[in-house]
Amino acid sequence: MEELIHSGIARYEYRHFIIFGSASQFAAMATECAGDQGAWWEFHDAYLLDAQARSFTRAGAIDLARDNGLDVARFTQCIDNEEHRDRILEMQRHARSVGISGTPTFRINGQPAARSLSGIIEQVRAAAEAVENQEGS
Amino acid sequence: MRLTLVLATLLAAIGLLFSACGSGGEPADEDVSTGTVRSERADREASIMQQEQGADQPAEAGADSGVIAFGHREGLPFARNVVGDPDAPVLIVEYSDFQ
Protein backbone atom coordinates (compact mmCIF):
# COMPACT_ATOMS: atom_id res chain seq x y z
CA MET A 1 0.00 0.00 0.00
CA GLU A 2 2.91 2.35 0.73
CA GLU A 3 3.94 2.04 -2.92
CA LEU A 4 0.54 3.31 -4.02
CA ILE A 5 0.98 6.37 -1.82
CA HIS A 6 4.60 7.03 -2.80
CA SER A 7 3.70 6.70 -6.49
CA GLY A 8 0.98 9.34 -6.17
CA ILE A 9 -1.90 6.98 -6.93
CA ALA A 10 -3.41 7.22 -3.48
CA ARG A 11 -3.57 9.37 -0.39
CA TYR A 12 -4.03 7.76 3.01
CA GLU A 13 -6.07 9.15 5.87
CA TYR A 14 -6.16 7.77 9.39
CA ARG A 15 -9.32 8.38 11.38
CA HIS A 16 -9.80 7.59 15.04
CA PHE A 17 -12.46 5.03 15.82
CA ILE A 18 -12.30 4.38 19.54
CA ILE A 19 -13.37 0.91 20.61
CA PHE A 20 -11.07 0.21 23.58
CA GLY A 21 -12.08 3.03 25.91
CA SER A 22 -10.42 5.92 27.68
CA ALA A 23 -6.78 5.02 27.03
CA SER A 24 -7.45 4.88 23.30
CA GLN A 25 -9.33 8.14 23.46
CA PHE A 26 -6.46 9.77 25.35
CA ALA A 27 -3.96 8.56 22.72
CA ALA A 28 -6.17 9.92 19.95
CA MET A 29 -6.43 13.30 21.67
CA ALA A 30 -2.68 13.42 22.31
CA THR A 31 -2.05 12.65 18.64
CA GLU A 32 -4.33 15.50 17.61
CA CYS A 33 -2.54 17.83 20.03
CA ALA A 34 0.76 16.77 18.47
CA GLY A 35 -0.84 17.41 15.08
CA ASP A 36 -1.34 21.04 16.07
CA GLN A 37 2.45 21.27 16.09
CA GLY A 38 3.09 19.23 12.96
CA ALA A 39 3.88 15.94 14.70
CA TRP A 40 0.72 13.96 14.02
CA TRP A 41 2.53 11.07 12.28
CA GLU A 42 5.30 10.89 14.89
CA PHE A 43 2.65 10.22 17.54
CA HIS A 44 0.69 7.88 15.27
CA ASP A 45 3.74 5.72 14.71
CA ALA A 46 4.80 5.83 18.36
CA TYR A 47 1.38 4.75 19.59
CA LEU A 48 1.36 1.85 17.17
CA LEU A 49 4.97 0.73 17.46
CA ASP A 50 6.71 2.07 20.55
CA ALA A 51 6.27 -0.02 23.71
CA GLN A 52 6.85 2.93 26.04
CA ALA A 53 4.32 5.13 24.26
CA ARG A 54 1.84 2.28 24.38
CA SER A 55 1.44 2.78 28.10
CA PHE A 56 -0.99 5.47 26.91
CA THR A 57 -0.27 7.66 29.94
CA ARG A 58 -0.20 11.43 30.30
CA ALA A 59 3.46 11.31 31.38
CA GLY A 60 4.33 9.13 28.41
CA ALA A 61 2.62 11.52 26.02
CA ILE A 62 4.49 14.48 27.49
CA ASP A 63 7.78 12.59 27.17
CA LEU A 64 6.92 11.88 23.56
CA ALA A 65 6.16 15.55 22.97
CA ARG A 66 9.49 16.51 24.48
CA ASP A 67 11.36 13.86 22.46
CA ASN A 68 9.83 15.26 19.28
CA GLY A 69 10.77 18.83 20.08
CA LEU A 70 7.24 20.10 20.62
CA ASP A 71 6.25 23.04 22.77
CA VAL A 72 5.56 20.93 25.87
CA ALA A 73 3.57 23.59 27.72
CA ARG A 74 1.25 24.07 24.77
CA PHE A 75 0.94 20.32 24.27
CA THR A 76 0.19 19.70 27.96
CA GLN A 77 -2.46 22.40 27.97
CA CYS A 78 -4.02 20.81 24.89
CA ILE A 79 -4.27 17.33 26.39
CA ASP A 80 -5.35 18.55 29.83
CA ASN A 81 -8.11 20.68 28.31
CA GLU A 82 -9.11 17.85 25.95
CA GLU A 83 -9.08 20.39 23.15
CA HIS A 84 -9.70 17.79 20.43
CA ARG A 85 -12.31 15.73 22.25
CA ASP A 86 -15.15 17.05 20.09
CA ARG A 87 -13.17 16.46 16.89
CA ILE A 88 -12.65 12.82 17.82
CA LEU A 89 -16.25 12.32 18.87
CA GLU A 90 -17.33 13.81 15.55
CA MET A 91 -15.05 11.36 13.70
CA GLN A 92 -16.65 8.57 15.68
CA ARG A 93 -20.17 9.77 14.95
CA HIS A 94 -19.45 10.14 11.26
CA ALA A 95 -17.79 6.72 11.08
CA ARG A 96 -20.85 5.08 12.58
CA SER A 97 -23.05 6.97 10.12
CA VAL A 98 -21.23 5.33 7.20
CA GLY A 99 -21.47 1.89 8.76
CA ILE A 100 -18.14 1.51 10.54
CA SER A 101 -18.45 -0.84 13.50
CA GLY A 102 -14.98 -2.31 14.06
CA THR A 103 -11.29 -1.74 13.45
CA PRO A 104 -9.38 -1.62 11.32
CA THR A 105 -11.85 -0.76 8.58
CA PHE A 106 -10.87 0.76 5.25
CA ARG A 107 -12.84 2.79 2.74
CA ILE A 108 -11.68 3.70 -0.74
CA ASN A 109 -13.02 6.85 -2.36
CA GLY A 110 -15.94 6.67 0.02
CA GLN A 111 -16.76 3.02 -0.69
CA PRO A 112 -16.24 0.00 1.59
CA ALA A 113 -12.89 -1.65 0.91
CA ALA A 114 -12.05 -5.29 0.39
CA ARG A 115 -11.17 -7.27 3.52
CA SER A 116 -7.71 -8.36 2.38
CA LEU A 117 -4.66 -6.24 1.66
CA SER A 118 -4.34 -7.66 -1.85
CA GLY A 119 -8.02 -6.89 -2.42
CA ILE A 120 -7.53 -3.32 -1.23
CA ILE A 121 -4.55 -2.82 -3.54
CA GLU A 122 -6.52 -4.17 -6.47
CA GLN A 123 -9.45 -1.93 -5.54
CA VAL A 124 -7.22 1.14 -5.34
CA ARG A 125 -5.75 0.47 -8.76
CA ALA A 126 -9.23 -0.03 -10.23
CA ALA A 127 -10.45 3.21 -8.62
CA ALA A 128 -7.45 5.09 -10.02
CA GLU A 129 -8.11 3.68 -13.50
CA ALA A 130 -11.77 4.62 -13.27
CA VAL A 131 -10.84 8.20 -12.38
CA GLU A 132 -8.31 8.40 -15.21
CA ASN A 133 -10.87 7.05 -17.69
CA GLN A 134 -13.45 9.52 -16.44
CA GLU A 135 -11.03 12.40 -16.90
CA GLY A 136 -9.97 11.15 -20.32
CA SER A 137 -13.49 10.88 -21.70
CA MET B 1 -13.41 74.65 -15.51
CA ARG B 2 -16.24 72.80 -13.79
CA LEU B 3 -16.95 70.84 -17.00
CA THR B 4 -13.29 69.78 -17.17
CA LEU B 5 -13.44 68.57 -13.58
CA VAL B 6 -16.61 66.55 -14.25
CA LEU B 7 -15.09 64.99 -17.37
CA ALA B 8 -11.91 64.07 -15.52
CA THR B 9 -13.90 62.45 -12.72
CA LEU B 10 -16.01 60.54 -15.24
CA LEU B 11 -12.93 59.25 -17.09
CA ALA B 12 -11.32 58.15 -13.84
CA ALA B 13 -14.48 56.27 -12.86
CA ILE B 14 -14.61 54.51 -16.25
CA GLY B 15 -10.95 53.58 -15.89
CA LEU B 16 -11.57 52.06 -12.45
CA LEU B 17 -14.53 50.12 -13.82
CA PHE B 18 -12.46 48.58 -16.64
CA SER B 19 -9.69 47.76 -14.22
CA ALA B 20 -12.05 45.94 -11.88
CA CYS B 21 -13.64 43.93 -14.71
CA GLY B 22 -10.25 42.89 -16.05
CA SER B 23 -8.89 41.50 -12.78
CA GLY B 24 -12.09 39.67 -11.94
CA GLY B 25 -12.25 37.78 -15.24
CA GLU B 26 -8.70 36.44 -15.34
CA PRO B 27 -7.75 34.19 -12.45
CA ALA B 28 -3.98 34.24 -12.08
CA ASP B 29 -3.57 30.47 -12.00
CA GLU B 30 -6.11 29.46 -14.64
CA ASP B 31 -4.85 26.86 -17.09
CA VAL B 32 -7.10 26.95 -20.13
CA SER B 33 -5.97 23.59 -21.50
CA THR B 34 -6.65 21.62 -18.32
CA GLY B 35 -9.13 23.85 -16.54
CA THR B 36 -12.05 21.49 -17.04
CA VAL B 37 -10.16 18.44 -15.82
CA ARG B 38 -8.85 20.33 -12.80
CA SER B 39 -12.31 21.54 -12.00
CA GLU B 40 -13.76 18.03 -12.24
CA ARG B 41 -11.00 16.64 -10.07
CA ALA B 42 -11.45 19.41 -7.51
CA ASP B 43 -15.19 18.80 -7.42
CA ARG B 44 -14.68 15.05 -7.03
CA GLU B 45 -12.10 15.48 -4.28
CA ALA B 46 -14.27 17.95 -2.45
CA SER B 47 -17.14 15.49 -2.66
CA ILE B 48 -15.04 12.60 -1.37
CA MET B 49 -13.55 14.64 1.44
CA GLN B 50 -16.95 15.96 2.42
CA GLN B 51 -18.34 12.44 2.45
CA GLU B 52 -15.51 11.13 4.57
CA GLN B 53 -15.12 14.09 6.89
CA GLY B 54 -18.65 15.27 7.37
CA ALA B 55 -19.77 18.63 6.16
CA ASP B 56 -19.12 20.34 9.48
CA GLN B 57 -15.35 19.84 9.53
CA PRO B 58 -13.29 22.37 7.61
CA ALA B 59 -10.14 21.20 5.79
CA GLU B 60 -7.02 21.39 7.89
CA ALA B 61 -4.09 23.52 6.79
CA GLY B 62 -1.21 25.53 8.16
CA ALA B 63 1.28 24.52 10.85
CA ASP B 64 -0.02 20.97 10.88
CA SER B 65 1.05 20.25 7.30
CA GLY B 66 4.37 19.75 5.55
CA VAL B 67 6.61 16.93 4.37
CA ILE B 68 7.37 13.85 6.46
CA ALA B 69 11.06 13.68 7.32
CA PHE B 70 11.36 10.24 8.89
CA GLY B 71 10.67 6.56 8.38
CA HIS B 72 9.04 4.82 5.45
CA ARG B 73 6.87 7.86 4.64
CA GLU B 74 9.87 10.18 4.28
CA GLY B 75 9.35 12.76 1.55
CA LEU B 76 5.58 12.43 1.44
CA PRO B 77 3.47 15.53 1.93
CA PHE B 78 1.06 15.42 4.86
CA ALA B 79 -1.77 17.50 6.19
CA ARG B 80 -2.41 16.43 9.76
CA ASN B 81 -3.83 12.88 9.52
CA VAL B 82 -3.66 12.64 5.72
CA VAL B 83 -0.48 11.60 3.92
CA GLY B 84 0.32 11.51 0.21
CA ASP B 85 -0.03 13.59 -2.91
CA PRO B 86 -3.03 15.94 -2.54
CA ASP B 87 -3.74 15.35 -6.26
CA ALA B 88 -3.81 11.55 -5.93
CA PRO B 89 -7.00 10.22 -7.52
CA VAL B 90 -7.73 7.74 -4.74
CA LEU B 91 -8.34 8.38 -1.06
CA ILE B 92 -7.86 5.45 1.32
CA VAL B 93 -9.37 6.01 4.75
CA GLU B 94 -8.53 3.76 7.66
CA TYR B 95 -10.72 3.80 10.77
CA SER B 96 -8.70 2.45 13.63
CA ASP B 97 -7.89 2.38 17.34
CA PHE B 98 -4.32 2.69 18.59
CA GLN B 99 -4.70 -0.17 21.09
Q: Does B63 touch chain A (CB under 8 A)?
A: yes
**Cβ–Cβ under 8 Å, residues A32 and A40:** yes
pLDDT in tens, B5-25: 444 444 444 443 333 333 333
Alpha-carbon distance B18 to B10, whole Å?
Answer: 13
SS3 annotation, chain B: CHHHHHHHHHHHHHHHHHHHHHHHHCCCCCCCCCHHHHHHHHHHHHHHHHHHHCCCCCCCCCCCEEECCCHHHCCCEEECCEECCCCCCEEEEEEECCC
Q: Name the residue among B65, B75, B90 with its Cβ closest to that of A108.
A: B90
B50 pLDDT band, cuts 50/70/90, is: low
Q: Name the residue among A12, A94, A127 with its Cβ closest to that of B54.
A: A94
More confident residue, A36 or B63: A36
For residue A88, the SS3 value is helix
B38 pLDDT band, cuts 50/70/90, is: very low
Peptide bond into A112 cis (omega under 30): no
Q: Please tell me which residue of chain B has the smallest CA distance to A132.
A: B89
Which of A9, A12, A29, A124 to substitute to test the interface with B, most B CBs within 10 Å? A12
Is the confidence at residue B69, as pLDDT, over 70? yes
Q: Whole-angstrom distance between the N-terminal and C-terminal Cα of chain A?
A: 28
**List of chain A residues whose C-beta atoms are within 8 Å of the C-beta of residue B86:** 11
SS3 annotation, A90-108: HHHHHHHHCCCCCCCEEEE
Report which of B47, B97, B90, B68 is spatially closest to residue A1, judged by C-alpha positions.
Answer: B90
pLDDT in tens, A103-127: 999 999 999 999 888 999 899 999 9
Is the confidence at residue B99, as pLDDT, over 60? yes
Q: Does A121 touch chain B (CB under 8 A)?
A: no
CA distance A121 to chain B (A): 10
ipTM of the complex: 0.94
